[in-house]
Structure 1
């Protein structure tokens, strides 16, 4: 039997170096392979052991292993260890072309290692996703959707490119849907996008200057991305209270036209806070006085559990200050890749022109299907059912937290949306807790990826898991904390 060589590791990365730790590990492993120290067939320790030997988080090891695997240098899995499979051409890839320099100089900044780990592990079928910003696929209205697609069989005669603003039939459907909820718009006030993220990309590429400052809530969903920063803009967090954004703390002078406010006033991501009506009116007056335009993200606007949804800032806006973003990703299905921008006609036309240069339009089939789904009344029926289910899941989640987490943390009680923002009473090592949770089959979203400082918090979601799944996970997590 061939003897298996086990890689011996005595080196540790320099945590004071400007080179990211995972890249130091990548280079260390490459060097040992290229100089013959670790020949083909050498087995590396498991990822857990590598993290211990290098004294780093397991997510850092995951990033390094993923990069080496993508080059074809190593192969394996986290449980059985990893084996060196190439010491020839694969080793030429990074140093000869020096792709890392190109990567670091590219247009978009890379996500931090925890966000990359989350993005990867969300596709692991055995993990309970306790923080994910996605609706449970089991809640998808299959029968209503099947009826919709059956109706489309006789309506769709082609799937060619659509007009720059998107399918007119869908824009008409959305205009009626939104006007029934307080908007005063026409189809030409709407641009169909491939989700809300693309809308933000279009705005940043076509309306904002490179050195602009984007003010936003702290914490905020945007902090988990580098979208605006990649465009040369600054992100500035403004604190919240129970009524929403503390707008008077925005450091801005009158007439400073470089800046913009991004806000999620209803069921905010990740805090779950809904801005009060009084605060909305005061915020609009402040922004009008300061000439500060507003991007309003309405992703969770229609997911309020008690009573009717509050008026959007766009509803209250009489001066075309607000660009409103909507999406089907948080209410129906992210795979549709359909969002919409509501703004003045000149703004919509400008964004539509840029969108045509980028992708020549969102999916034609998705637009036809969503239009039909709205027009036949299925969307409203489904939303009623969805809100009831999400409220039930929220209540179960709150009961589970009260049962198992009362001595460890405090949390908010959201009036809608997906999220509970939980903050630990005592300081804990969030990254270590994140890793321990993964080992128990639970994927968390640490609060640090949304905040401008270390906050010892978690974004918990009750939208993707059942009440039983949430309770079982919270019980396991409480046992980690007890230890």
Structure 2
């Protein structure tokens, strides 16, 4: 569906409906809105343009008369022509047909809205899993950038697996988590998400089964499904994925692997205890079931250090281990790492070279300097204090405003508070109402395999004032939904 990013100027002498016609005609003629795309409903257009419905009807009628749009019954109003094809005998290609036939599935509509609205400055982002600009280490980064510029001799392509210098540093860094691997078993990737894309392309067959927690961050993506794989949820308890259900869910006639976030799980915040990690590894070794361990939140512990990674016990090379600085330092640097058996890393490194010729060499230099200088460890100590303060403010605000309408967990680290509403309401309606009040929330059903009454509340991004104010406004909205439900 098209996005409305403009409002008519009511101070102009040009009638409002004609301004709308001009805007829509321009979007269609310059190719931003493609033939085959569906227009929003009249009510949505009315809200988007901030005009009454009769004005929208008047504008649509004229656009229909021009042959640019057409009502398709239950399918809604669709763009059927552009100004060039009205004048020319040969119409342009219907790009929508090409888009719909593409391999990669589109994001869920809610996630598309979130992605578009996250950059509107008036929005209070209560679900964003990213560090606030308020905690960005400006002085430290300036120091690091100065050192990097002094050492930099070129910014050419790196080796297929990434900078050898950075991989050596990461090899030493991982030893503190009992992960003892050589640089040749580490692949530098452009964030953990790219690692998953490479795995889906490089080592899995079409029709493979990927098991994951229910709910899971992975469910909000279409990485594996777009590559022809099936995603299946495995139930969780308070300690993470339930080990006894892994065998039940495993397919005997298809390649299967397990994706898990055992440390500060996204979205629930659960930390899997050491005993459960050991059990999962034993079951997967017995079943010859590879594991993808996503450990992006490990350094964000706030009370006690979490148990060692599953990978630390891996003696048979069954675990592919993902790490990243997207959550701890700077998402925009787009640097993560994948650790695994050397043949797998060689294979995925070759595919990465075919897709983007390597992660940013500048970002790799910056991370190497952060880690080798000792400033990264120093920074993490300060970061944990800031994140802990944010967690306490969020929990206190929830206690003051949500105690009679919801329950929630107390996370020991990470970014998220998994909140469960006590009464059933339309989460889509709550999401839409929140957007109208300049609140951006992440409904829990985008992470689940079935409908739920959860919210993923993040205390990492919004300013401290916005965090408190936003949660209070959200409480009021939920109560309104309760009243009118």
TM bucket (normalised to shorter chain) is 0.7 to 0.9
1:116 aligns with 2:121: no
Unaligned ranges ≥5, structure 2:
1-12, 22-35, 55-59, 70-78, 481-485
Question: Alpha-carbon deviation of 1:332?
Answer: 0.4
Q: Of 177, 184, 188, which aligns to 1:192? A: 188
1:173 aligns with 2:186: no
Matching of residues 222-241 of structure 1 within 5 Å: 222-241=218-237
**SS of aligned partner of 1:302:** helix
Query: Cα–Cα, structure 1 residues 403 and 377, in superposed 2: closer, same or farther, change >3 Å?
Result: same
Partner of 2:3: none
Deviates more, 1:344-353 or 1:460-469: 460-469
Query: Cα–Cα, structure 1 residues 4 and 354, in superposed 2: closer, same or farther, change >3 Å?
Result: closer
Q: Of 22, 26, 39, which aligns to 1:26? A: 39
Deviates more, 1:382-391 or 1:356-365: 382-391
8 Å CA contact 1:205–1:231 kept in 2: the answer is yes
1:88 aligns with 2:122: no
Question: Alpha-carbon deviation of 1:46?
Answer: 3.2
- Tell me the distance in 1 between the aligned counterparts of 2:391 and 2:40: 46
- Tell me the distance in 2 between the aligned counterparts of 1:5 and 1:191: 56
* TM-score relative to the length of structure 2: 0.83
Matching of residues 16-95 of structure 1 within 5 Å: 25-26=38-39, 45-47=46-48, 88-89=83-84
Query: Cα–Cα, structure 1 residues 27 and 242, in superposed 2: closer, same or farther, change >3 Å?
Result: closer
Alignment RMSD (CA, Å) = 2.8
**SS of aligned partner of 1:239:** strand
- Tell me the distance in 1 between the aligned counterparts of 2:398 and 2:53: 32
Unaligned ranges ≥5, structure 1:
9-22, 30-43, 54-64, 75-83
Question: Alpha-carbon deviation of 1:89?
Answer: 2.4
* TM-score relative to the length of structure 1: 0.83
Question: Alpha-carbon deviation of 1:27?
Answer: 9.3
1:323 aligns with 2:324: no
Matching of residues 255-404 of structure 1 within 5 Å: 258-404=255-401
Question: Alpha-carbon deviation of 1:237?
Answer: 0.6
8 Å CA contact 1:255–1:291 kept in 2: the answer is no
Question: Alpha-carbon deviation of 1:181?
Answer: 2.5
**SS of aligned partner of 2:177:** coil
- Tell me the distance in 2 between the aligned counterparts of 1:467 and 1:458: 19
Question: Alpha-carbon deviation of 1:480?
Answer: 1.9
Question: Alpha-carbon deviation of 1:466?
Answer: 3.5
- CA deviation vs aligned residue, 1:220-272 (integer Å, no higher than 9, x gap): 11111111100000000111111110121123569756011000000000010
- Tell me the distance in 1 between the aligned counterparts of 2:440 and 2:251: 44
- Tell me the distance in 1 between the aligned counterparts of 2:406 and 2:154: 55
- Tell me the distance in 2 between the aligned counterparts of 1:142 and 1:244: 36
**SS of aligned partner of 2:298:** coil
Deviates more, 1:304-313 or 1:115-124: 304-313
1:148 aligns with 2:144: yes
Partner of 1:463: 460
- Tell me the distance in 1 between the aligned counterparts of 2:40 and 2:267: 36
- CA deviation vs aligned residue, 1:115-147 (integer Å, no higher than 9, x gap): 100000011111011001111122111111111
8 Å CA contact 2:268–2:456 kept in 1: the answer is yes
- Tell me the distance in 1 between the aligned counterparts of 2:258 and 2:366: 33
Question: Alpha-carbon deviation of 1:52?
Answer: 8.7
How many residue pairs align between the two structures? 429
1:430 aligns with 2:427: yes
- Tell me the distance in 1 between the aligned counterparts of 2:108 and 2:85: 26
1:407 aligns with 2:370: no
Question: Alpha-carbon deviation of 1:396?
Answer: 1.2
Question: Alpha-carbon deviation of 1:404?
Answer: 0.1
- Tell me the distance in 1 between the aligned counterparts of 2:415 and 2:52: 33
